[in-house]
Structure 1
Amino acid sequence: MAVPKRRTSRANTHSRRAQWTATPPTLVPIILSGNTFRVPRRLVKLVHAGLIDPREF
């Protein structure tokens, strides 16, 4: 038989949410046609392939 979850107090919910923080992506310097650009690490392959313009970052 399904049992409903217990209600969490508002203070506990807020303190739990306060622990989470977003970190900015690490930027990696790459050189394209003599110019140096700083691009997020996960997008380096796309920039080299020409699918993303590095001036957008």
Structure 2
Amino acid sequence: MAVPKRKMSRSNTRSRRANWKATAVSTQSCPQCSALKQPHLACPSCGSYAGRHYASAERTEHQG
């Protein structure tokens, strides 16, 4: 197993970690209620996906 011979400097470590950025979640508008939702998922406000209604996907006030 490879083991580094010398300590890696802070600048090298930070420049390597500069590419660890998280990407923003993409959203699109729901065709039924025009609320923002993630693509390929049921709408959390109305519960519709691909012309069907899924009651379990609707967001409620007290989940749990």
Q: Normalization by structure 2: what TM-score?
A: 0.51
Counterpart residue type for residue 22 of structure 2: A
1:25 corresponds to which residue? 25
The structure, 1 or 2, with the larger RCO (C-alpha pairs under 8 Å, 6+ apart) is 1
Gaps of 5+ in 1: none
Q: CA separation in 2, counterparts of 1:17 and 1:29?
A: 34
Give the alignment of 1:1-57 within 5 angstroms: 5-6=3-4, 7-32=7-32, 35-42=33-40, 44-45=41-42, 47-48=47-48, 49-50=54-55, 51-53=57-59
Q: CA separation in 1, counterparts of 2:58 and 2:10?
A: 44
SS in 2 for 1:20: coil
Q: Normalization by structure 1: what TM-score?
A: 0.55
Structure with a larger share of its residues in strand: 1
Between Structure 1 and Structure 2, how many residues are aligned? 48
CA RMSD, Structure 1 to Structure 2 (Å): 2.4
Counterpart residue type for residue 18 of structure 1: A
